[in-house]
Structure 1
Amino acid sequence: MKLSIRRFTGNQGERFAMLVDELGMPLFYPALFVTCMLRGGGLAINTIINALTAIKAMYAWQDYYGLELESRFKRSELLLPNEIHSLRDFMQIPLAPAQQLSSNVRAIKQSVRVVSSESQYSRMSVIAEYLKFLAGRLHPHTEVSSAAIAQMSQAIKDNRPKKDTRSNTDREDNYLDEEVLAAVTDALEPGSEKNPVFDYAVQVRNSLMFVILRATGMRRGELLNLKVEDFSFNKRTVKVVRRPDSRFDPRLYQPLAKTLGRTIPLSNDISDAVMLYIQKFRTEVPGSNKHGYLFVTHKAGRFQGQPLSNSGFGKFMSQLAASASDFKSIHAHALRHHWNYDFSKIMDANGVSPEKEQQLRAKLLGWTQTSQMPARYNSRRIKEQAGIAVVAMQERVLGKKNQKLGEGE
């Protein structure tokens, strides 16, 4: 059975997603699960998409092994231990089109690629909840059956890969070099011969996006969600506003702000650059006056003037990464990590206490004061400080040893 995930927007701007068959018909129980458990739980559309992707992988496993879980659950037959093990193994396989997985045995047995343990863990977590939901509606209901269904769901979770927190390669090790950042900034300067795009207005837009990401630590979704009205040019600030399911956003894949709303101070240069883009370049793009989103598509065509999409931003970053071999490490989230590193150094230089630094970082990046994220993003600076400390200790010890050796002579 060939399945796909279809996204659509409701009349009031709600973003929906469904798992549909080859005829475009939604699958009943996955749709019910999304409506009752996911949207009913207030989950974001991207989280729902990830859940449907996991369920799609489960259907591929079901087809491959010739199972029909809905019929089995109605007959009071739950998953057996060996079937849970096969589900666990199957969830390591990258999700190819369902018909390839179900019809081509060699594609499964000869596959050498596997997904990350995090992806496998996430898939099995969703599937455990979905099968618990499905069995709870189809299995004849008794106290014994409820316990058995809960045990089946827990058995699936127990077969998830263990989360290894002792990784030798930390995310912060993939940091951005200051010289590379300076080179990228120069290349993106409007009018630069090294600029990866030719249109001057697009050069201005791209340079401004890069500067805002680097200077504020925003996520990509927050950047693309900015509106002209979010900027106060008198106060020199910008507001990061959460706008889920906005009916004024024409993008099917609506960029979202994952963290809390907040107000970020801006330098005079950045505030003036935003004003210049709005007044001189954005207003010249046909269709840009139909909405308030700051960054728009400049290229002529049916999307001209519409808010810049995730794919449009991705194209910009891909062009940038491909324009020079040293630029391959440049991406939006790397800039967020680098902002945190710079922020830590500034806090150290100004003698700010670790507790106060964590509060400020959480405020500027939209985390709650109890979030563990500030510590995670500060780990690179902590590792650097630990390295400096241990080298100082080694030099002190070595110095004493050399002194004694000199006295012995």
Structure 2
Amino acid sequence: MTLALLYRELDKANIDLLQRLRQGQFLTVQELNRLVDATQYWLADLSDEDANERGSSNVIDIKRIRIRRKSAVEETKSVSVATQAIRLRYMADYLEFLATYMGAALSASVRKEVAFESDRALKAFRAQIPPVSKRAKLGAREGLSKEDQDRLLKVIDPNSPDNPWERGFVRQRNWLIVVLLLATGMRRGELLGLQIRDLDQRLPKLRIIRRADAGEDPRRIQPNTKTNDREVELRPAIMREVWSYISRHRKKIKAARKYPQLIVGDEGQPLSLKSIDKIFVQIRAACPGLPVTLTSHVMRHTWNDRFSEQAELLGLTDAVEEKARNEQQGWADNSESAATYTRRHATRKGRELSLKLQKQLDVPEH
């Protein structure tokens, strides 16, 4: 199945791997990153939509490659981390074998060049294999590290040369999407359900409200708020960016005036759940070093990690921290959801405590 996935993705990109190797060329890092992205999904959930039409050229435009999902469920379904790791290892070993085998028929100089290029590319490819432990909880989804958060914000900056989107409205809107997800920890469905009237015009606040089967929502699958209604306060600078997006960018799209939703597409329609998924696929393609598991939901995990760190710095008791988190995330007072979203912080604290315990051991050096 892994090799079937490999050749299916290469075929969609119009890449003849054997012919490429006969010409003394290996897959590029960008092409390998596309394979990395595909290994996250069930094979049945990957379609052939948007595949490049066959032609004489072996050059592919990475920006045109999209992975289509068959459903627009609240959270993108993917294989387990262990399954993805196995797929990547099999692909890496197979590609390494094939490069060596086909290289044997090339001239010495070309063979040396292929070996160098394949070694470099596969090193970057293997670096993206997620760590997996025998224990199920290890390798589960966590928030982004501070370094990855910085890289994410840098690449999606509307003025960044690495920004993957061309139109100014799309750049500004997508930047705002990521910033709001990171700043509030809301779900993508909650973000897409936000209406302009949910924004406080006097204070830097917004309201997250449950609206089931909203008549003003034209989307076939309406984003829903799973948690309780709540009010979220924003930094004034972020709130100014929200109003700036409305007055300087959204307002220019005449069709958008018919809809109350804050986040719309460039044709004016409220953005769909699948569109959010595509945005994060495009971000991963533009910044290959980011985790291959990066989705909008990872922003929620990231917010909770940062919340834990700040609660620790403020010296909050566990009870106060739990109550504050539940209120901010719209969870019930007795909710156990926090354990799902604080894994990175708990892991770090566990390591620190373990090392402190080890310091108490009287272990002689030899």
Q: Name the residue aligned to 2:190.
A: 222
Q: Name the residue aligned to 1:396.
A: 360
C-alpha deviation, 1:192, in angstroms: 1.3
Q: 2:260 aligns with which of 265, 285, 292?
A: 292
Answer yes or no: is 1:306 the counterpart of 2:269: yes
Within a 5 Å distance, the mapping from 1:122-141 to structure 2 comes to none
C-alpha deviation, 1:204, in angstroms: 0.6
Answer yes or no: is 1:324 the counterpart of 2:293: no
TM-score (norm 2): 0.61
CA contact (8 A) 1:229 1:292 kept: yes
Q: Distance in 2 between matches of 1:370 and 1:267?
A: 28
Q: Name the residue aligned to 1:167.
A: 136
Q: Distance in 1 between matches of 2:207 and 2:156?
A: 25
CA contact (8 A) 1:190 1:203 kept: yes
Q: 1:345 aligns with which of 286, 291, 309?
A: 309
Q: Which moved more, 1:379-388 or 1:226-235?
A: 379-388
Indicate how the Cα distance of structure 1 residues 287 and 94 shifts in structure 2: closer, same or farther if over 3 A, else same.
closer
Q: Name the residue aligned to 2:26.
A: none
SS in 2 for 1:397: coil
Q: Name the residue aligned to 2:244.
A: 276
C-alpha deviation, 1:115, in angstroms: 8.2
Q: Structure 2: which 5+ residue stretches go unaligned?
A: 1-42, 47-77, 81-133
C-alpha deviation, 1:309, in angstroms: 1.2
Q: Distance in 2 between matches of 1:115 and 1:277?
A: 36
Q: 1:315 aligns with which of 278, 286, 289?
A: 278
Indicate how the Cα distance of structure 1 residues 168 and 289 shifts in structure 2: closer, same or farther if over 3 A, else same.
closer
Q: Distance in 2 between matches of 1:368 and 1:326?
A: 37
Corresponding letter in the other structure for 2:187: R
CA contact (8 A) 1:222 1:240 kept: yes
Indicate how the Cα distance of structure 1 residues 311 and 382 shifts in structure 2: closer, same or farther if over 3 A, else same.
closer
Q: Name the residue aligned to 1:266.
A: 234
Q: 2:207 aligns with which of 209, 231, 239?
A: 239
Indicate how the Cα distance of structure 1 residues 225 and 168 shifts in structure 2: closer, same or farther if over 3 A, else same.
closer
C-alpha deviation, 1:193, in angstroms: 0.6
Q: Distance in 2 between matches of 1:325 and 1:94?
A: 24
Q: Name the residue aligned to 1:335.
A: 299
Q: Relative contact order (C-alpha < 8 Å, sep 6+): which is higher? A: 2
Corresponding letter in the other structure for 1:255: P
Q: Distance in 2 between matches of 1:364 and 1:287?
A: 33
CA offset digits 1:252-277 (Å, max 9, x no partner): 01111111110001001110000000
Q: 2:178 aligns with which of 206, 210, 213?
A: 210
C-alpha deviation, 1:177, in angstroms: 2.5
SS in 2 for 1:254: coil
Query: What is the alpha-carbon root mean square deviation over aligned residues?
Result: 2.7
C-alpha deviation, 1:296, in angstroms: 0.8
CA contact (8 A) 1:217 1:340 kept: yes
SS in 2 for 1:238: strand
SS in 2 for 1:229: helix
C-alpha deviation, 1:345, in angstroms: 0.5
Q: Name the residue aligned to 2:70.
A: none
TM-score (norm 1): 0.55
CA offset digits 1:208-237 (Å, max 9, x no partner): 000000110010100111111111131211
Q: Structure 1: which 5+ residue stretches go unaligned?
A: 1-92, 97-113, 117-164, 299-303
Corresponding letter in the other structure for 1:322: A
SS in 2 for 1:349: helix
C-alpha deviation, 1:94, in angstroms: 6.9
CA contact (8 A) 1:175 1:338 kept: yes
CA contact (8 A) 1:94 1:115 kept: no
Greater C-alpha Rg? 1
C-alpha deviation, 1:170, in angstroms: 4.7
Within a 5 Å distance, the mapping from 1:97-136 to structure 2 comes to none
Identity among equivalent positions (%) equals 30
CA contact (8 A) 1:358 1:375 kept: no
SS in 2 for 1:360: helix
CA contact (8 A) 1:191 1:200 kept: no
